[in-house]
Chain A
Amino acid sequence: MIRQPASMRAKVVLGAMAVVLMLAGYTVLSERQHRLNPDDTTIPTWSLLGRGVSRIVEVGRVVPGSEESRSWLARQKTRWLVADASATGYRLFLGLLLGVAGAVVLGLLMGCFEKVEAFFAPPLSLLAKVPPTAILAVFFVLTQTYTQMCVAMVAFGILPTMAQAIYLGVKEVPRELIYKAYTLGASHAEVVWNVILRQVLPKIIDGVRLQIGPAMVFLIAAEWLGGEVGFGCRIRLESRLAHMHTVYPYLALLAGFGFGMDAALRRLQRWLCPWCAGGC
């Protein structure tokens, strides 16, 4: 029957099976490729991937007498993973923070004031369709350093879509609730804070969840273009050399990170907005 409920156990088993199948499929693929060419590095075997992982986490070359040889912290930074994750993480979170903050402010203003909406709606709906990497030149002019450029690409990349989602959410807040608050003597700010924001907060968190993926894509594309460290630049340089055994672990990390962020934001939503348990 359609929509027949499945037991928790069945769900877990099926989910795990899908992952196992995927890994098994990869194993078969890499076995086949290695039968064709035992030295293949493009679809590495698990042992080769293991070597790739150790390459990523091992301490890099330390010159005697340098800062790295003296300080423990500096030495950690010679590990690819530490250097790349800190650079990419910083850029991603700062970009997300700026993008979301801008989108919330803009979205609330647009949802509350029709004149603001009339002014911002056309450019936003146009910009929402432009991939930020396509207007690289603009970002170059707008920013000073390379890190700033990456941050700006993430922030501006997610801002239009998020702002649109938020302002449409604000417009969906039932009229009656707003009038009721006003009749009870609420000020404008109180209406925004106590009525509108409560209603759209779950949507904002949903919006962030949906934008994590695009934000990561924008960031990797920006890092692809240069920089000394960062996931994107490492993946580019390594894949050029056909070192897929170091590239795939990086991709797995990205996937794991996205999955973790998604789960964390869902928890945050449940904790911050208990009134919308089970989805709004």
Chain B
Amino acid sequence: MLRTVKSSMLVALAGAALALSGCGDGDKGGSAPGTGGGGGAADAGAAVPCFSVAWSEYPSWSTFGVAGELKLIDGKKGALGPIEKKWGVDIELKQADYDPCLVMYGSGQCDAVCITNMDVLSPSLSRKSVAVAPTSTSCGADALIVSGDLKDVQSLKGKSVYGLAKTVSEYCFVRNLELLGEKEADYKFTNMDPGAAALAMQQKKEGYEAIVVWNPFVLETLNKRPDARVLFDSARIPGEIVDMLVVAADSLEKPKGREFACAALDAFYAVSARIEDPRTRDETLVALGEKFSHLKVEAMKKVVEQTKFYKTPDEGLALFTGAEMPKVMDKVVDFCVKHDIVKDKPVLGFGDKAAAGAAVLRFDPSFMTAVKDRK
């Protein structure tokens, strides 16, 4: 009896080791053949290449976590869910806070990352990147919240507006000022962590009368401080702050790289469909919201209104192939150069590899088309 347990454990261990070493290649990001060293021999034995996605808690990105919980994909290395089997790739889900995700992607620790169209510019300068699909756009999820006695935007002059500098918060603030015909130089945007800024606002701390934060801090602050209100938000610039799934160009070049991107998108659209379906809507929203600041179903309904999902390949395609996208990216790049986020304008491209292969950041609709065609 003991012997059989022992030997079956040995077999299981050997199997696990084989599966793990099979993932070795994806693990190293861009390792060229030959430099990988020990991984080479085991690679031949593993049929399914492994790729990793770094994601952080955000409505449209938590879909990957939910897809993992629903076992549509198995987030562990060496285990396959139905979607992974369909595309013949192994997806490893790596969850972290947003900022560590950016660092992870920049240093080649993962193949794909959930990131905004603005934050991807800086890492794409050092790691050629392909945006394979938009997941959502901020449509009220980034907001300027002011205390009740501030009546209009002019009354912000001479006051500090708190928000995290060099992020979509500052972009949202500056773009809204532009739309209102105001000069950016007349206002003072002061760097502060959104969590800390929301806390100060909720405590009615003196001097903290205006903050620019993102969800869940927007909803939390408005809930906890009834006299505070939204002066303006990202609903006025829909389609400008875009949350995306970005894959490194070198990962796409690897065997099954394209299939990996398609499988990740397939999982995203599968969960999005569950949100749309009235029968599964509430439970999926609760699952999404559970980790996203423990929001209840009502609040989550608000959240997905303010974070508008590109819930089908068609909606994503409309954005990526539309005439607006290059114009939006021009604005974003201008902002980033002006605010010292990137030194030079990165070369952006729109279209598949044949059309825009030279770009450091390419908005490539071909993956969404592939997912759509293989439903």
Interface, chain A (partner B; CB < 8 A): 33, 35-37, 39-43, 136-137, 140-141, 144-146, 224-228, 233, 236-237, 239-243
Contact = CB atoms under 8 A, between A and B. Distances in A.
Contacts of B99: 236, 239-240
B52 to A, nearest CB: 16
B166 A237 contact: yes
Among A33, A146, A224, which residue has the most Cβ atoms of chain B within 10 A? A146
Contacts, number: 90
A239 B119 CA distance: 12
Interface of B: 28-32, 35, 99, 102-103, 106-108, 119, 122-123, 125-127, 162, 165-167, 190-193, 195-197, 199-200, 203, 205-207, 250, 341-342
Given A40-B107, A239-B103, A226 B197 contact: yes
9 contacts: A36-B29, A36-B30, A42-B106, A43-B107, A136-B196, A240-B102, A240-B167, A242-B102, A242-B126
Given A225-B196, A237-B165, A41 B29 contact: no
Contacts of A144: 206-207
A243 B197 CA distance: 25
Contacts of A39: 125-127
A222 B28 CA distance: 34
A43 B107 CA distance: 8
Contacts of B206: 144
Given A37-B126, A40-B108, A144-B206, A226 B103 contact: no
Contact of B192 (A37, A137, A226, A240): A226
A226 B163 CA distance: 8
A237 B193 CA distance: 11
A37 B127 contact: yes
Sorted nearest first, the 10 A-B pairs with minimum C-beta distance are A226-B192, A242-B106, A42-B107, A225-B193, A39-B126, A241-B122, A225-B196, A41-B126, A36-B30, A242-B123
Nearest to B122: A241
Contact of B190 (A35, A36, A228, A241): A228
Given A224-B193, A226-B193, A227-B192, A35 B103 contact: no
Nearest to B121: A241
Nearest to A222: B196
B32 A36 contact: yes
B149 to A, nearest CB: 20
B191 A241 contact: no
B205 A141 contact: yes
Given A37-B126, A39-B125, A39-B126, A226 B205 contact: no
A136 B193 CA distance: 12
B166 A240 contact: yes
Contacts of B166: 237, 240-241
Contacts of B199: 136-137, 140
Contacts of A243: 122
Contacts of B126: 37, 39-42, 242
A226 B203 CA distance: 17
Contacts of A42: 103, 106-108, 126
A157 B57 CA distance: 30
A35 B125 contact: no
B190 A226 contact: yes
Contact of B203 (A41, A141, A227, A242): A141
B122 A226 contact: no
Contacts of A36: 28-32, 35, 108
Contacts of B167: 240
Nearest to A143: B205
